[in-house]
Amino acid sequence: MVRGMTTNGGFEPVFCTIVPPHLLDQLARHDDPAIAESAQRTLERDAAQRTRRRITAVRTTAATPAAAPSDKPNRTIYDAGHQETLPGKKVHSEDDKPAKDATVNRAHAGLGATFELYLKAYGRHSIDGAGLPLNATVHYGENYDNAFWNGEQMVFGDGDGTTFLDFTIPVDVIGHELTHGVTQYTANLEYYGQSGALNESVSDVFGSLIKQYALGQTADQADWLIGAGLLAPSVHGTALRSMKAPGTAYDDPNLGKDPQPASMDHYVRTSQDNGGVHINSGIPNHAFYLVATAIGGNAWERAGKIWYATLTGGQLASDAQFADFARLTAATARALYGEDEEVKAVLGAWSQVGVPTS
């Protein structure tokens, strides 16, 4: 298991979730006891894991494989049977025919879509770059309102059916969480403050690109939503986050209003959520959206290559701030494309969101 270093020299597992704690906090105060109980139970489960995630971490490097990694994924799906023991019962292997359980099939397909984007667009073999098997557990817990990457595998809750639906529905949720693994094996961005918001943003960026690649959408055709289809029909919202228009994904009596800022003018200073990692990620998210739409075409190509090369190039410090990331994306764009439209798009985007590049 990939681990982060604790202050006393020990190691604890990395833990990443798609639904931020501020949303679950809101639901835990709901008048409906069933909704409040599901949210509270999810919070307690997540908090127990999240406290193990430390600011100080060690870079995880992939072991050199004995042979060249395969261009095919190696996926295994397990069923927790609504318990919390991982991985659960093995129910689907790579070469099995589709299961009768749609959740199993969606998990299998989402792992595959993530593997495909990283391989075809960036030449990366799985999460670690060396063919890491992709494992996932479905039907985790009772009415569990989240999905997470624990440093070793994906885990999906079924949602409570009232606020959140099955967490295998949006492929970008799967791609988002698996990208936390890619970040682990590369820049290993610390999960606090701006570096933590960059960690979250990188996952949103590639989660969105995985969906766009799977659907064959150009930057102009994409919805730039993270988690579309996850919210129940009664919720006043379209997704968990919007990269196109941060702060507009939902405005619901039970969930509250989407708090994400689109620029540094509205940067949120808070001690909650590891310094607002799920909130301030809206700023670099919006910068990527601006770059991708300014360049046009398929966002996983030029815009995505700039972000991927920045993440994996070895120059991005684990405690990088927004300005550090912005400067590196500009330098990467120059290295890849020269002084062309790509560089102008990167400089213009970061300027629009209020982050300096020099």
Cis geometry, peptide bond prior to residue 87 (ω within 30 degrees of 0): yes
Given the DSSP bridges, would you call strands 89-92 and 16-17 parallel, antiparallel or unpaired?
Answer: unpaired
Catalytic, 278? Answer: yes
Whole-angstrom Cα distance, residue 43 to residue 135?
24
**What single string gives the DSSP state of each residue in 153-173?**
-EEE----SSSB--TTS-HHH
- DSSP structural state of residue 264: G
Q: Which among 108, 180, 278, 286 is annotated as catalytic? A: 278
Residue 241 and residue 227: Cα distance in Å, rounded?
Answer: 7
Helix, strand, coil fractions of the chain, as percent rounded to 5: 40, 10, 50
Gap between the Cα atoms of 206 and 285, Å rounded: 10
Torsion of CA 278, 301, 325, 346, to 10 degrees: -110
How many CA atoms lie less than 13 Å away from 147 in the CB half-sphere? 32
Q: Please tell me which residue in 177, 190, 200, 342 is annotated as part of the active site.
A: 177
Catalytic residues: 177, 278
